[in-house]
Chains A and B, each alone.
Chain A
Amino acid sequence: MNGEPLGTIFINACLINNFVLAYFLGICPFLGVSGKMETATRMGGAVTFVMLVTSVCAFGIQALLTALDAPYLRLISFIAVIASTVQLVEMFIKKVSPGLFRALGIFLPLITTNCAILGLALFQTNKGYGFVQCLVFALGAGAGFTLALVLMAGLREKLALAAIPDMVRGTALTLALAGFLSLAFMGFAGLGG
């Protein structure tokens, strides 16, 4: 088992190795949903929640597959768990809070193909984290994802009012902005242990 302290894991996942800006995970929702501040925060919340649930499930599956000596089934079972978790979360939110369900719209089912979720499950297995460490790792990754999304949304809301050439508008500009954000996040490199 990995002996990393919990605080280091959180800071690492959230800032230093930010899933979006350092590992390039979850770029699709990052580019797609970062247009408005409100959707960005909601999306961040939903992703963090799915990450937590997936982390717990992936921990259980890994233990089971190790016991059964069938590591080649890992990828298939992870993706099956993620797909069903998202489906479950969707039904749960629909039942409990129809307002939130409508607000999230299409982004909710799309979490299934968010590589940040599968990446989280794979990384925590590779690093050999224990149960509590997995939870903290998921929380840190979710916080990092939300942070990147909210920062980007703030920048893009300002940019919508700026005068920029037509050619640069759209994905190209968003990507260049993400590049600068990523450069800025490299400044956190000395924080962890």
Chain B
Amino acid sequence: MSGHPTPSTTDEFLKGLWRENPVFVQVLGMCPTLAVTNTARNALAMGLATLFVLVSSNLVVSALRRFIPKEVRIATFILVIATFVTVVDYVIQAISLDLHKALGAFIALIVVNCVILGRAEAFASKNGIRASVADGLGMGLGFAFALMCLGVVREILGSGTLFGFPVLPGRFQEWVMMILPSGGFFTLAGWLLLFNWRRQRNAVREEAS
């Protein structure tokens, strides 16, 4: 944020999507990223749930930032986040019990997602409400985007389907490993490699020009 003297709301929104993407660039919030991305549907649900908690907690923390004593701020942030996560937990249970079973304890574990606490501490506690909501939206969408990247790859390769619909020819042999835990590690490693490669190529080009 130091590089931009007067960042506009749009800038705050866009930086989370790409330049400071929480998963691919900051490598935060790994646990849900790996655990629930075995199908695209779970990944989307998790991304939306995190987006909601992130925006709401950023809004509340930013609105209360003058009243929160510095010494107990982390505990306060966590309690604010836990409240919204409880809300999300019950909402998902009401919408689809199947989905709630598939995501399991990982909905509750949004509380300890370091992306959310990180944004509350690094951004919302220092900035106004509008900028904080924009930041939350951008970071949340960036997180959901990263989750989808993993979920789509793992579901297509692991079960030959996308959102439950078959997309690959019938004789395709599924890579069962991709929906198992190790597949999550490998897929994320692959995406990070792709990003590293891009960054290196851009750096080489800049040097050349």
A positions within 8 Å CB-CB of B:
21-28, 31, 72, 75-76, 79-80, 83, 112-115, 118-119, 122-123, 126, 166-168, 170-173, 175-176, 178-180, 182-183, 186
Contacts and interface: CB of A to CB of B under 8 A. Distances in A.
Q: Which of A115, A166, A176 has the most CB of B within 10 A?
A: A115
A77 B86 CA distance: 11
Contacts of B90: 72
A22 B181 contact: yes
A61 B78 CA distance: 18
Contact of A27 (B34, B89, B105, B196): B34
Contacts of A123: 105
Nearest to A123: B105
B160 to A, nearest CB: 21
Count class of interface residues, chain B:
35 or more
Given A79-B78, A182-B182, A118 B109 contact: yes
Contacts of A179: 182-186, 189
A115 B86 contact: no
A80 B79 contact: yes
Contacts of B31: 24-28, 115
12 contacts: A25-B31, A31-B27, A79-B79, A79-B82, A115-B113, A167-B197, A170-B196, A171-B27, A173-B189, A176-B186, A178-B185, A186-B181
A133 to B, nearest CB: 18
B75 A83 contact: yes
Contacts of A79: 78-79, 82, 111-112
Nearest to B36: A24
B186 A172 contact: no
Contact of A175 (B78, B89, B177, B192): B192
B85 interface: yes
Closest 7 CB pairs of A and B: A179-B185, A175-B189, A27-B30, A182-B182, A24-B35, A172-B192, A176-B189
B108 interface: yes
In terms of DSSP, what is the predominant structure of the interface of chain B?
A: helix
B30 A76 contact: no
B182 A28 contact: no
B117 interface: yes
Contact of B193 (A24, A31, A172): A172
Contacts of A167: 193, 196-197, 200
B149 interface: no
A176 B182 CA distance: 9
A89 to B, nearest CB: 15
Contacts of B27: 31, 171
B162 interface: no
B17 interface: no
Contacts of B181: 21-24, 182, 186
A35 to B, nearest CB: 15
A115 B117 CA distance: 13
A75 B85 contact: yes
Contacts of A173: 189
Nearest to B185: A179
Contact of A126 (B83, B105, B180, B189): B105
Q: Which of A79, A119, A175 has the most CB of B within 10 A?
A: A175
Contacts of A171: 27, 192
A115 B83 CA distance: 17
Contact of A24 (B34, B85, B200): B34
A72 B87 CA distance: 9
B114 interface: yes
B30 A24 contact: yes
B182 A115 contact: no
B186 A75 contact: no
Contacts of A26: 31
